[in-house]
Amino acid sequence: MRQHLHLHILLADTKARIATIILFTLVGSALFLSLFTSPTITIALAVSVGLIALTWWKPQSVLLGLLAYLPFEPFVLKWIPDDIYIFARYGSELVIYMLVGAVLLRMFWEEKKWKRSAFDVPFVFFLLAILASVVVNVVDPTVALLGARQLLRFLLLFFVVVQMAPSKKWMKSLLVVLTVVASSQVVLGGLQAITGGSLDTFLLPSERRTLGSIQLTEGTDQFWDPGQRVFGTMGRYDQLGIFLALVFLLIIGFLYDKRVGKKMKMICIAVLVLGLPVLVLTY
């Protein structure tokens, strides 16, 4: 018993020392970089290094945070300064690729087999369809890859979840996070409708961002009348509608779980009742 306790203390002490060394290394590197770059770039690089480490050690937590962040990304990007905009613009996408890499490396080192899913064969056909389209239409491979990545990055998340095989506790945490995010979008959508579009200018990411001759973000043109349709922080009413419809379906399925408490069910029902009119306003 004493030997077992001594082993735990030694392991905790080793982890504390490693964490201290990493912390001092990051602080020293940040101070060194600040001599040659702006403070915002230094902070962005430090956050990137932290995300890389967290993606390896806690991939499920990173995935949960990513899914909570993505609905707010268009609005958040609106306030990012130009010198670090490219990091913020493609940061979430890089996190997805890091998650894929971390999961594949863990499978290789731990000698785990690929978990098959019903989406494996359709995904292969989807890639073949993209390749055939590139060949037939003589599309530049770079252009085709940049266009296909809009869908591929989210399809990859599906395989990440399948291979990680998260626990039921994590799935419940995901549903809670999505419910909270959807509730915030419902509140914003309701305020947009009540104020007659007064919040549209504040929420809409209309500014174009470029890096030299490369256009990073084209911005969103509000071709509909103010207050006619709501979009929350997503910049597009159709994206908000798809997100709310997906979350509401998950909530409805959650309500049929007998293990869910009465208080939680009342919250879910309230989100549905208040959210359905907002969902209608996205069409």
Tens digit of pLDDT for each residue in 42-89? 666 667 677 777 888 888 888 899 989 999 988 888 888 877 787 788
pLDDT of residue 1: 52
**Is residue 220 very low, low, confident or very high in pLDDT (cuts 50, 70, 90)?**
low
Name the percent of the chain lying above pLDDT 70: 76
Greatest mean pLDDT among 85-94, 106-115, 170-179 lies in 170-179
Quote the crossing angle between the two packed helices 168-194 and 262-280, to the nearest 10°: 40
